[in-house]
Structure 1
Amino acid sequence: MAERPTTNWRKGVAAEAAGLAVGNLDPDCAYMVDLYPDELLSATDAVMDAFEAELPTLTEGDDEQAFAVVKRITLALNAVNEAHNECAFETDEREQLCLYIDEALTEQGVDVAALTARYGLGRHELTDQWRDW
């Protein structure tokens, strides 16, 4: 399965905490726990749990079904972002989330490039029509 962005975010939080614990990191330079509070990580993981549960139900070649799954995860991530004052996902996080969605669909057999091309979209525009983050 595609690696969740939250996995990397959690690793960053843990590495920073370890650096603080041994004194290798100045507390004034610690920011990961502020960027990725546990409630944000948990909410984002819940969205990804639902998305991953839907992936096996995709029917090969069913564009509407694939877009419906993308729409649901995108709108759910919009809600997470809204719950965090519209600043949960910055540029780097947005790119990681979009890559995760693309990779997860690809692993499920969806040709994302072909899917988006059939609708006059670039591959990177898969979530754009619903995405607020």
Structure 2
Amino acid sequence: MTNRPPDHWRAWMVETAREVEAGTLDPGCAVADLYPESLLRATDAALQAFEDEVCTLREPSDKAVFETVERVVLALNAIDGDGQHGGAGGHVPCRGVGDQSSEVAGRRIVSSG
């Protein structure tokens, strides 16, 4: 089972609520609506679609890998910009995920130019 950010966000909200209830956290510091359920569901759905797509890749080309990653980044950015989520969430930076992505990026730059 994959660890997803919404799982951590939900756990954080539960812990924050416990701290407020116990009096160890000022209620003004607790931002219970930072991660609305609509944001969590939409993020989960985008990540599940990404995982499903990745599972279908068999010996993919660099282009196929980039296109798959691009789709999930665009989906997550769209979720971030969707007003129904109260403007929650931060921008999803399109950064490398370890050495392999840097290697693939380098090959893409060389092959494009």
- Fold in common (TM above 0.5): yes
Match of 2:45 in 1: 46
Match of 1:102 in 2: 97
TM-score normalised according to structure 2 size: 0.77
TM-score normalised according to structure 1 size: 0.67
Higher relative contact order (CA 8 A, sep 6+): 1
Percent identity, aligned pairs only, is 38
Counterpart contact for 2:43–2:79, Cα < 8 Å: yes
Match of 1:130 in 2: none
CA change 1:4–1:63 in 2 (3 A) is same
Q: Which structure 2 residue ranges, 5 or more long, are not aligned?
A: none
Matched letter for residue 107 of structure 2: R
The structure having more radius of gyration, on CA atoms, is 2
RMSD: 2.8
SS at match of 2:58: coil
Q: Which string of whole-angstrom CA distances, capped at 9 and with x for unpartnered residues, describes residues 39-94 of structure 1? A: 11111111001111111111325112111111211121122112137943326xx3
Q: Which string of whole-angstrom CA distances, capped at 9 and with x for unpartnered residues, describes residues 78-120 of structure 1? A: 22112137943326xx36xx57x837xx9xxxx3221111123
